[in-house]
Copies of this chain bind each other. A is one copy, B any other.
Amino acid sequence: MRLTTKGRFAVTAMVDVAMHATQSPVPLTEISTRQGISLSYLEQLFSKLRRGALVKSARGPGGGYRLAKAMDAVTVADIIVAVDEPIDATQCGGKENCHEEQKCLTHDLWVRLNEQIFEFLRSVTLAQLVEQQRAKETRVVELHDPRLSKRPQSESVAA
């Protein structure tokens, strides 16, 4: 479980897909311009996201990406794991080099903390992020038209 800008880009891009691919797939060029991420980098990220079965692709005109699962079935942890290949902060890396009593402090300690962070990220779904984002956008609209301030807006997209 690493946490860098790479994973953040992936999460951002997934939120973009979740928000815009309701009718038709979203091409990467759209995400690129909307989110300010280079097209080629998005290609790399979505290559991994597709291999991780998080998105489905459609080629040709009108093609693009759409979610492979429902929004509430995709967690932040899923996305980060898909693009950020795992890292082992332990010297022994799962192997059994660490037999000496204290040598395992590194290993066990971090594995536990890692699991806790992972559990947390697994508790945050794409649907929640989208809802938060929609709420934020609604709030901006309210400034111009206060009548539109009653939209919970948590529809679920087909699997």
Give A contacts to B, CB under 8 Å: 1-5, 8-9, 11-12, 15-16, 34-36, 76, 87, 89, 91, 101-103, 105-106, 108-110, 112-113, 116-117, 120-121, 124, 129, 132-133, 136-137, 140, 157-159
CB of A34 within 8 A of CB of B102, answer: yes
Known: A3-B1, A3-B3, A117-B120. A112 touches B132 (CB 8 A): yes
Task: Point out the residue from B87, B105, B113 that lies within 8 Å of A34, measured CB to CB.
Answer: B105
Nearest 9 pairs of A and B residues by beta carbon: A3-B3, A8-B89, A5-B89, A36-B91, A34-B102, A120-B120, A12-B106, A8-B110, A35-B106
Residues from chain B with Cβ under 8 Å of A136 in the complex: 108
